[in-house]
Structure 1
Amino acid sequence: MLPAVALAGLTVACGASGNGSGSGTASSSAAAAVPSPVKDDKLAALVPDAVKADGKIVVGQDQTYPPNEFVDNGTVTGFDVDLGNAIGEKLGVKMEYQNAAFSGILAGLGSGQYELAMSSFTINAERLQTVDMVSYYSAGTSLGVLKGNPDGITLDNLCGKNVAVQQGTVQVDDVTKRSDDCTKAGKPAINVQQFQAQTDVNLQLTTKRSQAMLADSPVVDYAVKQTGDAVEVVGQPYDTAPYGIALKKDQGSYSQAIQGAVQALIDDGTYGKILAKWGLSTSGAITKSEINPAS
Structure 2
Amino acid sequence: MARQKKNVGQYPSGMILFSLTLALFLIGFCGLLAIQSKRLVTYIRENYEMRAFLDKDLNSTELKKLSETLADQPYVLKTDGVAQLGFVPKEDAAKEFIADTKEDFSKFLGENPLRDSYRIKLNEAYFEEAKLTEVKQDLEQIDGIFEVVYPENLVDSINRNVTKIYIVMSAFALVLLLIIVVLMNNTIRLALHSQRLLIRSMQLVGATNAFITRPFLGRGMWQGFLAGVIAVVLLLVGLYIAIQNLPELAAFQEPEKIAMLMGGVVALGVVIGFLSTFQAVNRYLGLTLDELY
Q: Normalising by the residue count of structure 2, what TM-score does the alignment of the two structures yield?
A: 0.23
Q: Normalising by the residue count of structure 1, what TM-score does the alignment of the two structures yield?
A: 0.23
Structure with more of its chain in helix, by fraction:
2
